[in-house]
A = this chain, B = another copy of it.
């Protein structure tokens, strides 16, 4: 068995550590790119594109080895404050508090976390090489349509995908059985007005270039009410397309690469 399991030494746990000790452990952990977990009572300040203040309370702070920082409150999906990967970190004590500061350049943003008490500090060398695969994404739907154009309609023939036009990228670009150009916009969830606008923009752009009839088809599992009205007004079409069914079709097919079909 090639299971990778951490030796006990690679995870260091301090309970209620003095803030001085904590600062040292965090600094060491940052230098060796370990994953740090800090649980304690803190306030947080953020300055950057916006700014925010968070008054004291108990939080969990995760510092990952790529330099991302997450400050989590005891409720909610979102971190209340954060820093994306790549920021510079430092930790030190000042006036009896533990300060953790994370700075990001471009855009210049800073978060400052001020702990007055730590309950738990963990410094870890986590190993994670596990492969992640996601199914039924919009990309799967696009691949399925290219593999099985009949999902859109009988006789539909894709010409290209992710075609660049002035306003953006056309998901699938092809021709119907009567030789008319077709632009397909795919959505993996309920398609709203925005999706219709997107499709309309592409059509406008292509019409401006080719000067002949261009059909627009919105392919999605569902249509929002407002989107339906707009679709009709603009003379566009809708085709029900289920992401899960697309993923199924792909699994059955042995072919993998989009490029093999065009």
Contact = CB atoms under 8 A, between A and B. Distances in A.
B128 A39 contact: no
B189 A53 contact: no
Contact of A129 (B57, B124, B128, B129): B57
A176 interface: no
**Most chain B CB inside 10 Å of its own CB: which residue of A41, A51, A77, A80:** A77
Interface string A77-104: 1001010110000000000000000000
**Number of identical monomers bound together in the oligomeric complex:** 2
A11 interface: yes
Query: Which one of A3, A75, A193, A243 has the greatest number of beta carbons of chain B within 10 Å?
Result: A75
A129 B49 CA distance: 25
Interface in A111-135: 116-117, 119-120, 122, 124, 126-135
A57 B130 CA distance: 5
A119 B77 contact: no
Contact of A130 (B13, B43, B65, B84): B43
B122 A58 contact: no
Interface of A: 3-6, 8, 11, 13, 15-16, 35, 37, 39, 41, 43, 49-60, 62, 64-66, 68, 70, 72-77, 80, 82, 84-85, 116-117, 119-120, 122, 124, 126-137, 167, 188-189, 193, 197, 243-244, 247
